[in-house]
Structure 1
Amino acid sequence: MRSLERQVYLTLSDVIDDIPAKHLSVAVSMGADSLALFYIVYNLSKEYKFQLSAIHLNHGLRKESNIEQRAFIKLMDELSVNYYTDNLSVPDELTLDKGKSFELWARNERFKFYQNAKNKLMFDFLLTAHHKDDNVETFFLNLFRGTGLKGLAGIMAKRGFIISPLLNVEKIELYEYLKEINVQFFEDYTNKDNKARRNYIRNVILPDIEKKFSNYKNSIVSCMEEVSFAIDFINSFIPFWYKEEEWDLHLFENLSPYLQRYIMYRKINDLLDFELENINPKRQPSVSKKIVNYALLKIKTLKNGEILQFRNIKIYKSYNRIYFVTSSVKDSSVQGSFSLDKSEFENKKSLVLSFNQYFINIKIKRKIDNIDLNKNFIFEKDKIVDRLIFSKWEKGDFIYLKYGKKKLQDLFVDWKIPRHLKDKILVLKDCKNIIGIFIPFKFANRQNYILSNQYFIDFQSNYEYIIVSVNEKG
């Protein structure tokens, strides 16, 4: 076994348990880096008997793309390696709908291809040929962009099912390996186009740096490791409520200014609605520092209301709390009303209705056993005059509580329910009287079912009771 093959196997062993029992696939472009990785892993598969496959995406950006794809297929057939390949349909314009750049679009298409390949070949991990030189270039590219700490930590060795086992290997070592095993590869002439920022860093800036600092690659890698340690240290201070949909403003304000900005940055990025988030969240476009600083300023200066609307995210401040709402969550505001005549449930023991985003279960019982009053409306059937009505609340609505009559509008203010949540509340009526209100979210330890005092029941009475429970669909 060659030393480079042994080094890669040890790297893989650090992130994969029981390699012989796994199915590994290699992303092969037919360039030097990916071909070197493929042959390394191919030889390891012979030694350690794990299943191997390969994938190739034809981007269609160069006239050589089809030639490279055919060469890939021929190579896999010759080596009897299972493979999956596909073609990328490139749009005519560089900018697509929703403001996404061509670069972002192509990147997302590539990761869709990775997921499709995983579904087709059923591999456990996909190996990519990012090496030490790529990592150093990424460091400088992110540095010049003004990235945060995460960008300065470099390429992650493992991102979901994607692994980069060559991050400690220099590109020159891969060339030497291919020369040793006598394998030819394709050159991508676009890598010489210095109009591309990464190419400019690779071909112009880094050669000048190397003239003065011959060991700069190892120094940068060491720096990236220190940044990763710093990120882990900062993450240890992130509060447990960070992932909640609402934050206590006082708890947030008690954090240091840096930690406030850090967790707001992370929170917004976590909520950004991208299709490939679960595949590779690190590569998704992130919110700018300008947006985060604007949100922090609004939190300090705005009494109540909308703090920020960014892409699919809305952030609200209300009653000393911060709320995060995403458009990817189905709108659950109550729309319209639904009326059920008493005759429709008079002689039925149970009934299930569909209204807006809810399933409403209605049962008629004479005996009440083990019924949780916090999870149902329970009231006497004879108190219903002619119908049950399910609807959204209106400004003139009121309910009778233990301490008297109260307008719902005033009640929600007293309970400090934010404006964007009020429209989600469902009202149960009998003609014009409100029987109860259903609050479909957890809020300040309030019960979900609030029954009007007019409809409280005596469980000792020998009456028929209506039991109503509400469940969200899905």
Structure 2
Amino acid sequence: MLNPSGLKKQLDYLIHLSERRSYLIAVSGGADSMVLVWLFNELKDVGYPFQVAHVNYGLRGSDSDLDQKVAEDFCKKNNIKFHLYQVSEKDRKPGNSIQFWARELRYRFFREIQEKEHLEFLVTAHHLNDQLETFIINLSKAAGINGLSGIPANSNGILRPLLNFTKEEIYCFARENNIAYREDLSNQKNDYLRNRIRNCIVPELLETNDHFLENFRKSLSYLNQTRDFVQEKIQETENRISIADRPHTILSREKLAQESDFAKFEILKKYGFNQENEIPKIFNTENGSSFFSADYRLIINREELIFKKRTGDEEQNQDEEIVLIENFDFSENQIIINLESNIGSIEEINKTFEWCFDAGKLRFPLRLRRQQDGDEFFPYGFSGKKKVSKFFRDEKISILARRKIWILADRENSILGIIPYRQDRRYAGDEKTNNILRIFNKSKNEI
């Protein structure tokens, strides 16, 4: 059962440390986040200092203001530092997806508060029912064991201490302790995939077995243990075939080729090479060939596989193709790629752009390449398709400048966008998008 002592033990387990930490709690005003902040308030005197952040999007009129009031009143009553972001006309309005826009806005706000207040962890109130919804979504997308293992309790500086508790347990706890909260009635609408799963599929599943959620909780635990065991064995295999690991990782190509397809895939995936139909090329290509992932360059040196960490100093050859992302991990709702941090500073990309893609429509891996004869795409904001050569003419881009422009393409060589000018509208995210790939670059004038 949910209690302050249980939360303390859960947090200790998550961070594996005994010294004091600091936290920013994301509070919406709903039952789950209000219970979370109540629990932290009970623990603040025993080593868990925290502050609270709330975003008022203003999308539900007075209901949005009442959500804010519940969270803010609790913080005032208990002398908790409260950070509010009030969305206004100055904020960029939703483009293709309100969910994407809202998610980006709040996490940017959270990061700013964490940096300003020196708060180490962001804490969210995801619970076991959220886990079940994510599991079903990932099951439908062949996400593999990582996706089926659920939302991580501790990843990228975000803690989710309520993951083992059901929504009903959280509601009961709120009632027993007279914790005020607000219901978001928009969750009852079936306009998004997650809402349809939550409102239609999950209730049917729960009716099949009185212990469904408890059994699901155990199944997640088994899946996580299986994943950890597999990763341990994969690491043992890599160590056995390793030739050197400083300054670069070097593996025996011959020995890796003798391993199972699963082992080859898992080892190469660690370095960003996780497209199954591309892996055989690594073992059949000629000496001196190179492969690129977002973070590594793989060099074939006779019977050695040399993995070199990529830097911003690498030359951008006119004929080079850069693998930007091998695949999308559907255990995450969103993956964000900053071109500069992923492939280094690119001189010719000196203009801000930000593209949102529906990951379910993309054919991975995605790569950067130069213009090719016959290239055409469907530019966002225009009807019909257009030849890239004509697009360059219309944009008055010189011949020399065109040779330096990067084109984002997919596995089938379809164009996803001309960087940094125009995205292809066929793959853009919209209000129905559940898994988002965001690609952006910051102008040098903004750095």
Bin the TM-score by the shorter chain: 0.5 to 0.7
Distance 1:181 1:334, change over 3 A: closer
Distance 1:9 1:109, change over 3 A: same
2:3 alignment partner in structure 1: 4
> Offset of 1:145 from its aligned partner?
1.5
1:56 alignment partner in structure 2: 54
Distance 1:105 1:151, change over 3 A: farther
2:186 alignment partner in structure 1: 190
Distance 1:205 1:247, change over 3 A: same
Distance 1:216 1:298, change over 3 A: same
> Offset of 1:108 from its aligned partner?
5.1
- TM-score when scaled to structure 2? 0.59
User: Between the two proteins, what is the percent identity of the paired residues?
Assistant: 24
The CA RMSD measured in Å over matched residues stands at: 3.5
1:454 alignment partner in structure 2: none
1:26 alignment partner in structure 2: 25
1:178-233 deviations in whole A, cap 9, x for unaligned? 22233332222231222322222211112111222221212222122122122222
The letter for the 2-side match of 1:330 is: G
Describe the SS at the equivalent of 1:268: coil
2:333 alignment partner in structure 1: none
Q: After the TM superposition, which of the residue ranges 295-304 and 24-33 deviates more from structure 2?
A: 295-304
Say whether residues 1:37 and 2:36 are aligned partners: yes
Describe the SS at the equivalent of 1:267: coil
Distance 1:65 1:323 in 2: 54
Distance 1:127 1:333, change over 3 A: closer
The letter for the 1-side match of 2:261 is: P
Q: Which runs of 5+ in 2 are unaligned?
A: 318-447
Distance 1:333 1:319 in 2: 23
Instruction: Work out whether residues 271 and 295 of structure 2, in 8 Å CA contact, stay in contact via their aligned partners in 1.
Output: no
Describe the SS at the equivalent of 1:303: coil
Describe the SS at the equivalent of 2:277: helix
Describe the SS at the equivalent of 2:165: coil
Distance 1:49 1:324 in 2: 42
Distance 1:86 1:300, change over 3 A: same
Distance 2:100 2:267 in 1: 25
1:281-314 deviations in whole A, cap 9, x for unaligned? xxxxxxxxxx611221322443357676666776
1:15-68 deviations in whole A, cap 9, x for unaligned? 35676844343221111110111112212325x364232122344554344553
Distance 1:18 1:301, change over 3 A: closer
Q: Which runs of 5+ in 1 are unaligned?
A: 96-101, 270-290, 336-474
2:96 alignment partner in structure 1: 94
2:257 alignment partner in structure 1: 253
Describe the SS at the equivalent of 2:24: strand
Larger gyration radius, structure 1 or structure 2: 1
Instruction: Work out whether residues 246 and 323 of structure 1, in 8 Å CA contact, stay in contact via their aligned partners in 2.
Output: yes
Say whether residues 1:330 and 2:312 are aligned partners: yes
Describe the SS at the equivalent of 1:57: strand
> Offset of 1:124 from its aligned partner?
3.7
Distance 1:230 1:55, change over 3 A: same
Instruction: Work out whether residues 70 and 182 of structure 2, in 8 Å CA contact, stay in contact via their aligned partners in 1.
Output: no
Alignment of 1:145-160 (within 5 A): 145-160=141-156
Distance 1:149 1:141 in 2: 13
1:131 alignment partner in structure 2: 127
Distance 1:191 1:142 in 2: 20
2:162 alignment partner in structure 1: 166
Distance 2:33 2:304 in 1: 50
> Offset of 1:104 from its aligned partner?
5.8
Distance 2:175 2:166 in 1: 15
Distance 1:74 1:56 in 2: 12
- TM-score when scaled to structure 1? 0.56
- Whose relative contact order is higher, 1 or 2, with alpha carbons under 8 Å and at least 6 apart? 2
Describe the SS at the equivalent of 2:25: strand
Instruction: Work out whether residues 38 and 179 of structure 2, in 8 Å CA contact, stay in contact via their aligned partners in 1.
Output: no
> Offset of 1:106 from its aligned partner?
5.2
Distance 2:41 2:32 in 1: 14
2:280 alignment partner in structure 1: 297
Instruction: Work out whether residues 28 and 55 of structure 1, in 8 Å CA contact, stay in contact via their aligned partners in 2.
Output: yes
The letter for the 2-side match of 1:13 is: D
Instruction: Work out whether residues 84 and 121 of structure 1, in 8 Å CA contact, stay in contact via their aligned partners in 2.
Output: no
> Offset of 1:162 from its aligned partner?
2.3
Q: After the TM superposition, which of the residue ranges 33-42 and 236-245 deviates more from structure 2?
A: 236-245
Distance 1:16 1:322, change over 3 A: closer
Distance 1:255 1:207, change over 3 A: same
The letter for the 2-side match of 1:122 is: H
Distance 2:280 2:266 in 1: 14
Instruction: Work out whether residues 295 and 308 of structure 1, in 8 Å CA contact, stay in contact via their aligned partners in 2.
Output: no
The letter for the 2-side match of 1:128 is: T
Describe the SS at the equivalent of 2:272: helix
Distance 1:297 1:19, change over 3 A: closer
1:83 alignment partner in structure 2: 82
Distance 1:111 1:92, change over 3 A: closer
Q: After the TM superposition, which of the residue ranges 221-230 and 152-161 deviates more from structure 2?
A: 152-161
The letter for the 1-side match of 2:260 is: S
Distance 1:301 1:20, change over 3 A: closer
Describe the SS at the equivalent of 1:225: helix
The letter for the 1-side match of 2:42 is: N
Alignment of 1:277-426 (within 5 A): 292-303=275-286, 317=300, 319-322=302-305, 329-333=311-315
